[in-house]
Amino acid sequence: MKKFFVCALLASLLAAVPAFAKKSYVNGIDPNYPPFAYMDEKTGQAAGFDVDSLNWIAKTMGVEITHKPMAWDGIIPALLAKQIDMVGSGMSITPERSKMVQFSDPYWTVSRVFLVPADSKLTPEDILSQKIKLGVQRGTSEANAIKQEQQEKGYPFELRFYESAPLAVEDLLNGRIQAALMDELPADDAITKGRAVKKAGTHGKPDGFGVALRKDDKELRALIDEGYRKLMADPYWKELQKKYLNK
Ligand code: ARG
């Protein structure tokens, strides 16, 4: 018992010396993006596929990663301003973002879908050719892609912007919008939670998700890539998919 306390004391003393302290990193998350990242109502802690993946990687790689909830819209500026060190929160790897940040190797692929009320008859073709209101999450790759497509092709819908995907689902249910475009997993999440919505079909190419890092942060990039390689080779990777993604 005594030995234990001496060891614990020694460990905490050593941790206070910078050279022996565990490296500590802050991951910025959108707390309203289940199943990738959200705040668990029971524990009050960040949870989700990306959060648990990074927690496992931190443990395995001997570093500390904490999760900081923030607005999705300002998450890349926060990364560049060093308020956070990474964004592991369902972020698509896009050419526009890659001009400002670097991405880890992709760890997941998702399709984009149109979500409509359960009793809606709208098809993807209707959504693109009618004067409906279409909801998207502000600052997302799908919002930028559909905005650009609309400019190029003159689609007649009116775009409505939301802080989070669940808020767009609320407005679908109360009839303020007729369809919403989002990643397939948050759409599935709304359906599993019993919201009266359904997928009308996919739109565009699937996106790869990666962890966003500052461009000069080579050390963290290597750590995250190595961490995901280890995670993907571990049975826990399958477990996480079962737990969060119904795979
Ligand atoms: N895949 C889209 C993007 O990268 C939506 C992601 C939204 N993710 C989130 N955590 N809010 O922009």
More confident call, 62 vs 11: 62
- Two tokens, residue 126: 């209707």
The number of distinct structural domains making up the chain is 2
- Taking the C-alpha atoms of residue 29 and residue 7, their distance in angstroms, rounded to an integer, is 35
Three-class secondary structure assignment of 57-104: HHHHHCCEEEEEECCHHHHHHHHHCCCCCEECCCCECCHHHHCCEEEC
Q: What is the mean pLDDT of the chain?
A: 94
Q: Is the pLDDT of residue 212 over 90?
A: yes
Instruction: For residue 39, tell me if it sits in a domain.
Output: yes
User: The dihedral of CA 208, 209, 215, 219: what is its sign?
Assistant: negative
Q: Is the pLDDT of residue 10 over 80?
A: no
Instruction: For residue 218, tell me if it sits in a domain.
Output: yes
Q: Would you state the pLDDT for residue 16?
A: 65
Q: Are residues 132 and 184 in the same domain?
A: yes
Instruction: For residue 49, tell me if it sits in a domain.
Output: yes
Q: Are residues 153 and 126 in the same domain?
A: yes
User: Closest ligand 1 atom, CA of 92?
Assistant: 4
Q: Are residues 190 and 215 in the same domain?
A: no
Q: Are residues 162 and 85 in the same domain?
A: no
Instruction: For residue 178, tell me if it sits in a domain.
Output: yes
Q: Would you state the pLDDT for residue 6?
A: 72
- With bands split at pLDDT 50, 70 and 90, how would you rate the model's confidence at 21? confident
Q: Would you state the pLDDT for residue 246?
A: 82
Among protein residues, the one whose CA lies closest to atom 1 of ligand 1:
92
Among protein residues, the one whose CA lies closest to atom 12 of ligand 1:
140
Which is it for strands 37-39 and 46-47: parallel, antiparallel or unpaired? antiparallel
| SS3 state of residue 213 | strand
Instruction: For residue 57, tell me if it sits in a domain.
Output: yes
Q: Are residues 150 and 180 in the same domain?
A: yes
Out of 107, 183, 184, give the residue to mutate to test ligand 1, the one with the largest number of ligand atoms within 8 Å of its CB: 183
- Taking the C-alpha atoms of residue 183 and residue 168, their distance in angstroms, rounded to an integer, is 12
Q: Are residues 128 and 191 in the same domain?
A: yes
CATH of the domain at 46: 3.40.190.10
- With bands split at pLDDT 50, 70 and 90, how would you rate the model's confidence at 200? very high
Q: Is the pLDDT of residue 1 over 60?
A: no
What confidence tens digit (pLDDT) does each residue in 87-127 have? Answer: 999 999 999 999 999 999 999 999 999 999 999 999 999 99
Q: Is the pLDDT of residue 11 over 80?
A: no
Q: Are residues 116 and 104 in the same domain?
A: no
Q: Are residues 237 and 169 in the same domain?
A: no
The whole-number average pLDDT for the span 72-79 is 96
**Run of H or E including 171:** helix 165-173
Q: Is the pLDDT of residue 81 over 80?
A: yes
User: The dihedral of CA 188, 193, 195, 196: what is its sign?
Assistant: positive
Lowest mean pLDDT segment, chosen from 137-141, 148-152, 199-203: 137-141
Q: Are residues 104 and 213 in the same domain?
A: yes
CA of 186 to the centre of ligand 1 (A): 10
Q: Are residues 229 and 158 in the same domain?
A: no
Instruction: For residue 95, tell me if it sits in a domain.
Output: yes
Q: Are residues 120 and 164 in the same domain?
A: yes
Q: What's the domain range around 189? A: 112-205
Q: Are residues 77 and 116 in the same domain?
A: no
User: Closest ligand 1 atom, CA of 30?
Assistant: 10
Q: Is the pLDDT of residue 145 over 90?
A: yes
Q: Would you state the pLDDT for residue 13?
A: 67
Q: Is the pLDDT of residue 14 over 80?
A: no
